[in-house]
Structure 1
Amino acid sequence: MKKLALVLGSLLVVGTAASAKEVVPAPVVVPEKVVEVVEKPVIVYRDREVEQGWKPNGSFEALYTVYGETENKTAAEHDWARDRSNAGRLQTITNVNFTENQTLNLRTRNYHGLRSSMKGPGSYDEKDNWVSKAGNDELRLRHFYNFGTLGDSKVTAKSRLEYNQVANDGKKHLEASVAFDFSNYFFSNDYFKVTEFALRPLYRYTWSGHNTNDNEMNRYGLSLETGFAFPFGFELDLNVHGRHDRKDGSFRYDDGKKSDTWAEIEAILSNSTNLYKAGNFGIDFAFEGGYDTYNVHKNKVVERKNGKNGERRSYSLYAQPSLVATYKPTEFVALTAQAGAEYRNWNVEKESAAKLWRWQPFVAAGVKVSF
């Protein structure tokens, strides 16, 4: 019986172990996940603006002006009124910013008469029309250097070197100056803005021809140059130029002085109002006028005609309204046409005798190309 019990017990243990082995779950096979790689197309935006560094730029402008008939054209005592009538002027301005701080500006002016006569300029032709004397051609070259803000202040500085020459080896000058602009110290709003408030010390050397003569002059000056902007497109330029000139020869003073201390004042009000605009075409009404210039001398200037003592003060006052049409066929090209007239006390500027005025129409056409 014991042997039988041991055999049955052994069978029970073996059966239990076999049953336990059968309940072990079979391994589950997980299928591999397929990863799909999608290649996205690369899009190149050719019209996208790419920020570039600074590069040289500038502009070229040509303007041709015709000065018409003036009033008082038949009275011999008013020949001064026609000095620039029936004449033309071609002006070109080239402006090149060749570095971020340096600019070169070249201006030329060429004058010519539009009528001829056997007697020459300054006379009447066969039809009793006045033949004007053409003005003197002129060349001016300027170099500017912008020093930016000085230290921790709000003052900016900009230098100017200038060479000016009248045609045919005429009067010439070299000038050096620096403008210190304090406009950032002034309060500005939508109704009033100080665009410029600069002090400019300068030195100028003037001569004619190639040899030393009485036309050599040294000038020492200090200028106050200011600009103000107002609503409705009005602007005011108010400049005061203090001058002290010394010559090898003498000035036109009664005592033959070789030095001259004087001041030149400019006060010019300007405005531009748009009258019509359609696309790239527009018409504006432009106006400018004021004192150009008012001069105050320390001594009385001797008159050229009679050699008598003149006055310490003289001025030229003018008003110039005009219509300006502008068309821009491209972003870099602008065409302009202008028609207007000037009212001025031309060539008769003594303060007590500036009573003769002349009205002179003019037309102009020009083109400006930016690059």
Structure 2
Amino acid sequence: MKKTFLSVTIASLLLATTAFAANESQEQFVPNGSLTASQTFYGNSGKYKTATSKPELIFDYNFTPEWNVNAQWTRSTNLHDYDQNNHYNQNNNTSTPEININYNHGYLGNSKIKWTSNVNYKNFTVMSAPTVNENYAWVTTTFDFAEYMPSSEYAKTTQFAIMPAYAYGWDSQSGHSGHMNSGAIAFLGSWALPANFTFNMQAYLIRDFYNGGQKMNKVNSQGESIKSYSTETYGAFFAYLNYARDIYKFNENTALSFNFIGGMDPYMIGNKKSSGWFPFFVGNQQYQWTEPTVQQGNTKNQYIAFALPTLQVTAKLTEDISATIYAGAKYSNQVWGDTSKDWKLQPQGGLSLTYNF
């Protein structure tokens, strides 16, 4: 099944290249892109040591009307990992490069269904003990029915899509073994609401298959593994409310804005009580960058919820370069499992510089 899905996706991308050649007579397209460098700092969440630093580079390039490539690299320093007894390890420095190749097929046949596909690769490396070197390759294809959905003055559907997906993960660290296969079907929806609000939701049904060192573990109250699983089924639900508004304009090139995002990130259910693994499609889709500090080890019923208001100043320095300074505080549940507790406030802020070309 996985080979068939992968073959169909790659074949559709190759056929799309031929279709583009036949449309060269269309209005001339000018390739364009952007490069963004950012640095974010995170403070502690109350008694939990969560202070860290995250530099990031993002390259995005549209080299034809249909083809886009996005590459990003994220670093971290001084991450803290907690166990179930609130013990933690410091200085878990990570590196996460990722590349995504995206293709817009246009409309599916004579319908109003928008069709897009992408092929992706990510590496996750922890450079301090215990070291980790995990790799993930995945493909998705998305069918968007938004133009069939009714709209009103109170809500306009901007996405109403289904997305089949397949991922393969493996551990390339010397002396380690194991891999995972993951199949998923997702619903993706977004709506524009009055007064600058938007609402986004995603629902995933995921089936994971594990081998070797990537098997799922069931743990006891001391965090010791007492059983392992080679398969697991998950359901995950994400829901975000967004708000953005300029609140003061210094001049035509500089403005102060207020932004808010909050919601479920995610609510998750699983068919086994286990810990030691976060499903790839769930972790890859999270809005929050830092995960909860303590994990109780029960994927049957758990959730992450947060609210993040932010103030930011954006200045257009030249026609091609803009800079942003931002500060905010995230309020979220820092411990989750059978129950949720210890809601804490975590300050964060940073700056970014974007070059458009």
TM (norm. structure 2) is: 0.76
After TM superposition, give the deviation of residue 222 of structure 1 in Å.
0.4
Q: Distance in 2 between matches of 1:259 and 1:112?
A: 33
Q: Higher strand proportion, which one?
A: 2
Letter in 1 for 2:28: G
> Secondary structure of 1:355's match?
strand
1:311 to partner: Cα distance: 5.4
Question: Measured at CA, do residues 230 and 367 of structure 1 come closer, stay the same or move farther in structure 2, by a change above 3 Å?
Answer: same
For 2:105, the equivalent position in structure 1 comes to 147
- 1:220 — aligned with what? 183
Cα deviation for residue 189 of structure 1 reads: 3.5
Tell me whether 1:69 sits opposite 2:44 in the alignment.
yes
Relative contact order higher in (CA < 8 Å, ≥ 6 apart): 2
Alignment of 1:184-333 (within 5 A): 184-209=147-172, 215-249=178-212, 250-253=215-218, 256-277=228-249, 278-301=251-274, 310=298, 312-333=300-321
* RMSD (Å) for aligned C-alpha atoms: 2.6
- Whichever residue aligns with residue 365 of structure 1, its letter is L
Alignment of 1:338 with 2:326, yes or no, is yes
Structure 2 residue 53 is the aligned partner of structure 1 residue 88: yes
Distance 1:101 1:303 in 2: 39
Counterpart contact for 2:297–2:337, Cα < 8 Å:
no
Cα offset, 1:210, TM superposition: 6.0
Q: Please give the per-residue CA displacement for 1:48-90, whole angstroms capped at 9, x wherever unaligned.
A: xxxx721211001111011123312xxxxxxxx21x31x2110
Partners of 1:296 and 1:266 in 2: CA distance: 12
- State the match for 2:341 in structure 1: 355
CA distance in structure 2 between the partners assigned to 1:349 and 1:248 by the alignment: 26
Equivalenced residue count is 293
**1:167-186 → structure 2 map (5 Å cutoff):** 167=125, 170-186=133-149
Q: Distance in 1 between matches of 2:145 and 2:175?
A: 40
Which AA in structure 2 matches 1:63?
Answer: S
SS in structure 2 of the partner of residue 356 of structure 1 = strand
CA shift at 1:271, angstroms? 0.5
Any idea what SS the aligned residue of 1:184 has? helix
- Give me the TM-score of the superposition, normalised by structure 1: 0.73
- Match of 1:57, as an amino acid? N
List runs of 5+ in structure 1 lacking aligned partners: 1-51, 73-80, 115-120, 124-129
Distance 1:226 1:212 in 2: 42
